Structure 1
Amino acid sequence: MVNLIKTKGGGNLKIHIEVDPTLDEPAVTLHVPAKTPAVDELVAAIQAADRVQQRLTFSWHGENYQVSLADVLFFEARDHQVTVHTATAMYTTGQRLYELAERLPNQFIQVSRSAILNRTQVFSLTRSVTGNLVKFQNSHKQLYVSRRYYQALKHALEEKG
């Protein structure tokens, strides 16, 4: 199926949709001419749309809030409830930790049986005899990492650069 759409600059945008039974999820590839001035704007718009989609609904004192995943420091399961920690607030969710783990982007990594953290929010990782401690950017909150997950987290943080 091919559609022609008029663009803001007056040119045409061809859209071709191809059904591929070998794919598990949709994939988008954009082919643009080498001298396309709007490529940066297009990339920025796609990134902005991606950030908007990466929001989940959590509750706090009986009210529901849309929280950006970029603001989440970590998820913590305790007493049959998952708490969502940001730098300034704590929310709860009815989802189980393993259900969240399946939905979260790869910036989130499991660091214990009961916690998943956002590696883009990590300020420091300290290894000591008493435990492995993570401190977060712009927050007083801290989280312990189990020995089992320490190496994977360390590698993920080094990968992040």
Structure 2
Amino acid sequence: MITKREFIFWTITWVILTLLFSSSIESIVVSFYFVTILMPIVMATSIFFNRFLVPRFLLQNQRVKFIIYFAYMLIVSVYLELLVMVLAFVILADYQIENLGKIAGDIYLLTVILYLVVLIEGLILSIQKLREKAKEIDEMQSRLDIQGLTELSIRSNRKQVLLPLDEILYIESMGDYVEIHSTKGSYITKEKISSLSDRLPNSFVRIHRSFIVNKGHVFRFNKEEIEIADRSIPIGRKYKKSAMDALGKNVIV
């Protein structure tokens, strides 16, 4: 399925090629039809090169296979371009080659334009992958930083409070606010429980849409609930598997 980014890229390419060919064909309508016939070849070549050849062979250091398949692709794409020129010559140019203009009637220029589009899309894909990789690294670093935390900073009663993580028993969502229960009392904050979950290390487990518990303070648990301090907390169906994986495989009845 085509993504939004790909749709925008190919739409812009379509428009640019139409304007480019219209400068020599001298008819925007004929240029549009010519590009419409040409675009499937451009798109198929680009997709084959950037999503198959490069990742499967070039990036895997299989250069010989890459060169062989690239040569095949080049031959096929040029052959298909010739077919497009013949169709355009018959259908659009009324058997008058000069009606196609200098660009559309030149197979070498068509090939250069085709592979220029292929390289541009490849560059865009490379930039996108680099950004995704950088985002993954940032998220990983963020998680590592979280694992090293010893305190949780919250806003409670108009004051900034630092709670030692090992003192927190569990966190309970109460609708419009969240109550954090610790060994030294309870604290109320308006921060959402999902936001708090993202800021807590792996020693805390989301077991219910309304509860996060500190594994270090869990006294007893089974598949339905856990006991922590003097409270029994239900395990939500959605969180049952992840809770069991986090708390341990040996279920205590």
Q: Which residue of 2 aligns with 1:151?
A: 241
Specify which of 183, 188, 191 is matched with residue 95 of structure 1: 191
Provide the C-alpha distance between the structure 2 equivalents of 1:155 and 1:148, rounded to a whole number of angstroms. 13
Say how many residue pairs are matched.
Answer: 110
Q: Which has the higher helix share?
A: 2
Provide the C-alpha distance between the structure 1 equivalents of 2:215 and 2:209, rounded to a whole number of angstroms. 17
Report the CA distance between 1:61 and its aligned residue.
Answer: 5.9
For 1:3-37, what per-residue CA distance to the aligned partner results, in whole angstroms no more than 9, with x for missing partners? xxxxxxxxxxxxxxxxxx853238x9xxxxxxxxx
Provide the C-alpha distance between the structure 1 equivalents of 2:241 and 2:232, rounded to a whole number of angstroms. 18
Provide the C-alpha distance between the structure 2 equivalents of 1:134 and 1:111, rounded to a whole number of angstroms. 9
Q: Which has the higher strand share?
A: 1
Q: Which residue of 2 aligns with 1:109?
A: 205
Provide the C-alpha distance between the structure 2 equivalents of 1:95 and 1:78, rounded to a whole number of angstroms. 11
Report the CA distance between 1:64 and its aligned residue.
Answer: 4.8
Alignment of 1:3-82 (within 5 A): 22=134, 23-24=137-138, 25=141, 50=148, 53-58=149-154, 64-82=160-178
Provide the C-alpha distance between the structure 2 equivalents of 1:141 and 1:66, rounded to a whole number of angstroms. 24
Report the CA distance between 1:97 and its aligned residue.
Answer: 0.8
Q: Is the 8 A contact 1:87 1:141 kept in 2?
A: no
Provide the C-alpha distance between the structure 1 equivalents of 2:196 and 2:225, rounded to a whole number of angstroms. 23
Give 3-state SS (helix, strand or coil) of 1:135's partner: strand
Q: Is the 8 A contact 1:60 1:90 kept in 2?
A: no
Q: Which residue of 2 aligns with 1:12?
A: none
Give 3-state SS (helix, strand or coil) of 2:194's partner: helix
Q: Structure 2, unaligned stretches of length 5 or more?
A: 1-132
Q: Which residue of 2 aligns with 1:141?
A: 231
Larger Rg: 1 or 2? Answer: 2
Q: Structure 1, unaligned stretches of length 5 or more?
A: 1-20, 29-49
Provide the C-alpha distance between the structure 2 equivalents of 1:140 and 1:87, rounded to a whole number of angstroms. 11
- 1:114 is aligned with what amino acid? S
Provide the C-alpha distance between the structure 1 equivalents of 2:176 and 2:166, rounded to a whole number of angstroms. 25
Q: Is the 8 A contact 2:157 2:188 kept in 1?
A: no
Report the CA distance between 1:84 and its aligned residue.
Answer: 0.3
Provide the C-alpha distance between the structure 2 equivalents of 1:65 and 1:158, rounded to a whole number of angstroms. 32
Provide the C-alpha distance between the structure 2 equivalents of 1:68 and 1:159, rounded to a whole number of angstroms. 28
TM score, norm. by length of structure 1? 0.57
Specify which of 208, 222, 230 is matched with residue 126 of structure 1: 222
**Once the two structures are aligned, what percentage of the paired residues are identical?**
23
4+ residue stretches of structure 1 with deviation over 3 A?
Answer: 57-65
